[in-house]
Amino acid sequence: MDFAVISENMSGNQVKMLLSNLMKEVTAGLTEDKSFSDISKGSKYRKQAFSYDAQVGLDVSVNPIPSRIIVEISAFANPFPYEKRMIEPFVTTYLRKRNMEDVVTQYHLEPFELNVLSLRQTLCEKTVSLIRFSISEDPLASLSSKIRHFYDLNALLTIKELEEYVCSEEFVSDVETLVKHDQEAFDEPAGWKDLKDLNQSPLVMDFDKLWDSLAPKYEENLSAIAYREIPSSKTIKASFLKILKSLRGIDLTKE
């Protein structure tokens, strides 16, 4: 679960308290997984894992997904633009297909309205995240930890409006704005704040070579958790090359 908090006009202490209270509220009834190492309880970013009672076997050869929910709450993000969407839980859809509306009502599982980040912004954020992680000392390891972003970007580009968007000047402008925002928000990795040319990013500069090493990791990682055949690594590469074509024209030095 990934939450972006709108923290305009809030003090640092107010943001910290908001993140802490929100984490407690959304994880009520769950037990924190103390074995989870990638934990963060910062003033603008919290990340914790919580376990639940699994109803399937825990044999990793059968079920490679740990029985835990990872919750991230960030005040670093730029959660605009967003749009209101009606969200229906998967279990609600399941129950309704079986004409079990009474159970939906009994357990308060009705659809609810939520502010959801626009798909354009999601596309930009995942793209910029990959660029930033590629600046790290070990680009391959860092990008491997974000391998699902490539899958998500490919899925987004199956939407015609977004496929056209990545070829537009608007996309170039939006990515440029987001890069500058994230350069102010994030200190790491070293060299990120000083990046003036996206072509200096290993992801942009040497994508073909990086993808040769990332492709097996993509296939292994995604296949382990997918319920149907995943897009081929060639398809994923072709989608990202469309994005790269636009990224190469971005100049971070202009005001």
Amino acid sitting at position 160:
K
pLDDT at 199: 87
pLDDT at 59: 59
pLDDT at 44: 86
Q: What is the mean pLDDT of residues 159-184?
A: 92
Domain ranges of the chain: 1-77, 82-117, 119-247
Q: What is the mean pLDDT of residues 106-112?
A: 96
What is the average pLDDT value for the chain, to the nearest integer? 89
Q: What is the mean pLDDT of residues 112-118?
A: 90
pLDDT at 225: 80
Segment holding 248, helix H or strand E: none
Q: How confident is the model over 38-56, as pLDDT tens digits?
A: 888 888 889 999 988 776 6
pLDDT at 4: 86
Long-range contacts of 214-218 (CB under 8 A, 24+ apart): 214/140, 214/143, 214/144, 214/147, 214/150, 217/144, 217/147, 218/147, 218/150, 218/151
> Distance from CA of residue 45 to its chain's centroid?
14
Instruction: Determine the Cα–Cα distance for residues 19 and 10; give it in Å rounded to an integer.
Output: 12
pLDDT at 56: 61
Q: How confident is the model over 227-245, as pLDDT tens digits?
A: 889 999 999 999 999 999 9
pTM: 0.78
The values of phi and psi at residue 13, to 5°, are -70, -35
